Amino acid sequence: MATYTVETNGDVALSAAIAKTIINVINSANGVVKLVELSVSFDGTTANAEPVTVELCKSTQATAGTSTSHTMAQNSGPTRTVQATAARNYTAEPTVLTVLKRWLVHPQAGLLIQFPLGREPMQVTGSQGLAVRCTAPAPVNVQGYMEIEEG
């Protein structure tokens, strides 16, 4: 097994009330991708601002959407070539997205989740993705990452 990180590579601007996929890991044709950790943080400055909705989604990749491709960095495990692909900062959403988990996060804060061993979200269907999508009530920037295990 090896672990890899995909990240936003800096700020991703969220527009008011518009859902935006910030990171997506697309499984290889015959692979398994396991999400072991994810994090998002926001740069909001208003103490009484409404929370940002953060969603972990599965994506069928029926349409790929429009995004920036991202080369994942290997964190641990034997040196190997990652089979999954990654994208960030979508300007047109991938489809079809199904929400697996949802959190409300204050825009002056962040979220870090390390999934319990044996209960990590997985994408076992080839050429489909695990994505993080954010919807902010007011404009704010987000940074984040997903750490995945593949093998």
Mean pLDDT, residues 52-73: 97
CATH number of the domain residue 126 falls in: 2.60.120
Q: How confident is the model at residue 64 (pLDDT cuts 50, 70, 90)?
A: very high
pLDDT digits (tens, 9 = 90+) for 36-56: 999 999 999 999 999 999 999
Residue 151 has pLDDT above 90, yes or no: no
Q: How far is CA 125 from CA 31, 53, 93, 121, in A?
A: 8, 26, 20, 12
The average pLDDT across 68-84 equals 95
Evaluate if residue 20 carries a pLDDT over 80: yes
Specify the number of domains making up the chain: 1
Encode pLDDT of 127-138 as tens digits. 999 999 999 999
Say whether pLDDT at 80 is over 80: yes
Q: Which domain holds residue 77?
A: 2-28+37-150
pLDDT on residue 97:
97
